[in-house]
Structure 1
Amino acid sequence: MEATSIGIIGGADGPTAIFTAGSLGQMTLSSILVLTAGALIMVGLVGLFFLWRRKK
């Protein structure tokens, strides 16, 4: 059994830490990375939207 640990830190309004530890297959690992990247992109887009609204 292999133990894999992923740490991703980022976010618009403070650090967000996601840690996944355990026995992960390649498909599960890819899914987690895609979901995490999508979540970070959405946070960025929401932040840009609010900045854009503030300027009006």
Structure 2
Amino acid sequence: MSQPVETAAYFVVSEAVTNAAKHSFATAIEVRVTLDGVLYVDSPLGGPTIVAAELTCA
């Protein structure tokens, strides 16, 4: 993984986890890492919110 991709991944995860801890009553947070260049956010009324970021390595 290149340095810019690693940095982007770190900040996406950091912000998502911080926001979940700050604004929800979540009892668990799951982080999975896959790569390819897509950002997906699904936040239905009543949750759970799903944030998926796939980052291109090349």
Normalised to the residue count of structure 1, the TM-score between the two structures is 0.40
Higher share in helix: 1
Normalised to the residue count of structure 2, the TM-score between the two structures is 0.39
Higher share in strand: 1
Q: Which has the larger radius of gyration?
A: 1
Instruction: Work out which structure has the larger RCO, using CA pairs closer than 8 Å and 6 or more positions apart in sequence.
Output: 2
